[in-house]
Amino acid sequence: MKIALMLILSALPLIVGAGVFAYLVASARRKEEADPETIERQRRAEQLAYAGALAGGLVHEIKNPLNSLSLNLQLLAEEWANAETPEERRALKRIQMLLAETNRLAGTLDDFLGFARGQPLQPAPCDVNKLIEEVSAFIAPELESRKIELRKCLEPLPECILDGNLLRQALLNLLLNAKEAMEEGRPHEIILRSGAVDGWLRIDVIDTGRGIPPENLDKIFEAFYSTRKGGTGLGLPTARRIVEQHDGRLLVHSEPGKGSCFAMILPVAPLPAPAAQKPKEKPKEART
């Protein structure tokens, strides 16, 4: 009996070691077999968490002197408000340009901080079609001024459990992106479409703009990438982050010269594990 017990005790480290090794091997295999998209999403989340930790201190250090600069420029602009001579008017114009630039930089810093830190989800019952109508009404005057027609094709949707405020921000970002893709001087249209199937909600934002070259499709979701002068390049990355926070996907299909379609695929309700397979199909092509 003692001999058997001694043999078991002497073999215990080997048994435990073999178990740990088997666990590590199984974990490695699960990681290798994991969905590449999930791995990529986790990688982005880790990068953003690290960026958010750094962003707070950095933005604070930059914004303090920037706010002081902005305040002094405002005071100078007030002092020169009654400029009379050409030299004084030129000085006032330079002051106003500097003030506008400091305000733009402050806005960019706020956008970056919001993107890097993100916001925790606050899911609640959400009437998505009503939310779409509200965002449409908000942006309609701006689109009308650019001769862009906004059309909607909204199907009846089930009650959804989503963060309405963040979803509103994501949709507005996609609409602003669509607006900027339009060439001024000729009529364009944006189509908003909603639908639901098998527990998944879909919102399409379709435009008839210039489209995205194939070589740029992998870049448009990178922070600070923008082809528009003065653009922060944070609108699309922020929209994707919000969608992925809901365990959804943001798909894009685009053809140069024809237009683009951005599709938000979202679960109707947050679940511990997806109850239905996420759709993999591409959105329908934008109509010209």
In this structure, the answer to whether residues 89 and 149 fall within a common structural domain is no
Domain boundary among 117, 141, 169: 117
In this structure, the answer to whether residues 109 and 230 fall within a common structural domain is no
Q: Provide the residue range defining the domain that includes 163.
A: 124-267
Domain boundary among 94, 117, 140: 117
Tell me if residue 65 falls in helix, strand or coil.
helix
In this structure, the answer to whether residues 164 and 47 fall within a common structural domain is no
Residue 45 maps to which CATH number?
Answer: 1.10.287
In this structure, the answer to whether residues 58 and 168 fall within a common structural domain is no
Element (H, E) at 259: strand 259-267
In this structure, the answer to whether residues 135 and 94 fall within a common structural domain is no
Record the pTM. 0.62
Domain boundary among 92, 117, 142: 117
The predicted pLDDT at position 219 comes to: 83
Is residue 128 domain-resident?
Answer: yes
Is residue 56 domain-resident?
Answer: yes
Q: How many domains does the chain have?
A: 2
In this structure, the answer to whether residues 130 and 262 fall within a common structural domain is yes
Strand-pair category, 188-197 with 148-154: parallel
pLDDT in tens, 93-117: 888 888 888 887 787 777 666 666 6
Give pLDDT tens digits along the chain (288 positions). Answer: 434 434 333 443 333 333 433 433 344 444 445 567 667 666 666 665 555 555 666 666 777 788 888 888 888 888 888 888 888 888 888 888 888 888 877 877 776 666 666 677 888 999 999 999 999 999 999 898 888 999 999 999 988 999 999 999 899 999 998 998 887 767 789 999 999 988 899 999 999 988 888 888 888 887 766 766 656 677 888 889 899 889 899 999 998 888 999 999 999 875 443 344 445 454 444 444
Residue 242 maps to which CATH number?
Answer: 3.30.565.10
Is residue 286 domain-resident?
Answer: no
In this structure, the answer to whether residues 142 and 43 fall within a common structural domain is no
In this structure, the answer to whether residues 138 and 229 fall within a common structural domain is yes
